Amino acid sequence: MTEFGFIEKIRDMFASIPAGDFEGIGDDCAVLPINDDEALLFTADALCEGVHFLCDATTAFEIGAKSAAVNLSDIAAMGARPIATLLSLSLPQNAIGEWAEEFMRGYRSVSERYGVTLAGGDTTCSKSEIYISVTAIGRAKLSHIKRRSAAQVGDTIMVGGTLGESAIGLRDILAGNYSTAAAHTHRNPTAQILEGEWLGQQECVHAMMDLSDGLASDLQHILDLSHVGAIIDTERIPAADTDTRNAVCGGEDYKLLFTVEADAAEALACRFKEQFGYDIHAIGTITANALHSIVWHENGEPVTHDDWGGFLHF
């Protein structure tokens, strides 16, 4: 069974329990409206030693910072402002003490940068590995929330920055090259937190999510939930190196992926650059497509890339 198969099964099992005021389950975050104007958003993510990080290759500070960043990224990916996290930290004996404190300093650095309080959590022993689980809470005006299901035919598909560097960094780390620039980026992802909240306020932005499993896999979620297709001009993908496959299939870039009203895309890119000092990139178009599939183009012509799947956690 794949990760997504299991998630589907869980969704079916719990479908008969009323969701109360919750909506958006299955998006980056669950959404709970708290009045006519505002909602809280919730997301949870786990990191396991030996699967998501190697203690030899990454400092405790970096793991702490990344644990916070990737969760805040999910909040920002819906156009919301992160306000709090809860942290469950399970530590084997050898990580209690210095490692744990360094981890917390990293976690704190990201929390402080975005003014996010630590609202609770749990610390326990574990038998052999470090295990980290973070729940992030965000807040947004209901009208600012960007859902995966909101892409519209004709929208321009945009990404918030260069893709694939994290995948190259992971490859370097697995080969024992811990000190490359890409390896550093992999260990220290810069989530687009302020950018996500800003894009949430832009009416011309329709669907949004963050790229954690790779463009090919993540864009598919938008297509499935919005009942649309996509053409991606592969030569326009801002790839970190000459092998576009890393940019399309590599995980953990934590850049924003969003669709924008075609007429407004160019002006949005200008205003974004004014605000944040760097470029966002148009890479394709949302299409009417009953198969909800991605069609890859190269210089205007369709090409097939059967091996461009996404990243699966298991």
Closer to a second copy at the Cβ: 242 or 314? Answer: 314
Q: Of 51, 265, 304, which Cα lies nearest the Cα of 156?
A: 265
- Which residues 6+ apart lie within 8 Å of 41 measured at CB? 24, 29, 30, 31, 32, 75, 78, 80, 137, 138, 139, 140, 145
Output the smallest distance, CB 257 to a second copy, in A: 19
Q: Of 160, 161, 162, 166, which Cα lies nearest the Cα of 184?
A: 166
Closer to a second copy at the Cβ: 52 or 144? Answer: 52
| ∠ CA 75-20-33, rounded to 5° | 40
Closer to a second copy at the Cβ: 118 or 262? Answer: 118
d(CA 109, CA 241): 30
Closer to a second copy at the Cβ: 104 or 230? Answer: 104
Output the smallest distance, CB 221 to a second copy, in A: 14
Output the smallest distance, CB 101 to a second copy, in A: 7
Output the smallest distance, CB 250 to a second copy, in A: 17
Output the smallest distance, CB 293 to a second copy, in A: 25
Closer to a second copy at the Cβ: 124 or 179? Answer: 124
Closer to a second copy at the Cβ: 131 or 308? Answer: 131
Residue 197, CB half-sphere, CA atoms under 13 Å: how many? Answer: 16
Q: Where do the H-state alpha helices sit in 212-264? A: 215-226, 244-249
Amino acid code (one letter) for 69:
A
227-to-116, 142, 146, 233, 280 alpha-carbon distances in Å: 35, 22, 16, 20, 25
Q: How many CB atoms lie within 10 A of CB 10?
A: 10
Query: End-to-end alpha-carbon separation of the chain, Å?
Result: 8
Closer to a second copy at the Cβ: 28 or 155? Answer: 28
Output the smallest distance, CB 266 to a second copy, in A: 35
Closer to a second copy at the Cβ: 75 or 286? Answer: 75
117: tokens are 């309080």
Output the smallest distance, CB 192 to a second copy, in A: 20
- Residue found under tokens 């965000």: 138
What value does the CA radius of gyration of the chain take, rounded to a whole number of Å? 19
Output the smallest distance, CB 281 to a second copy, in A: 28
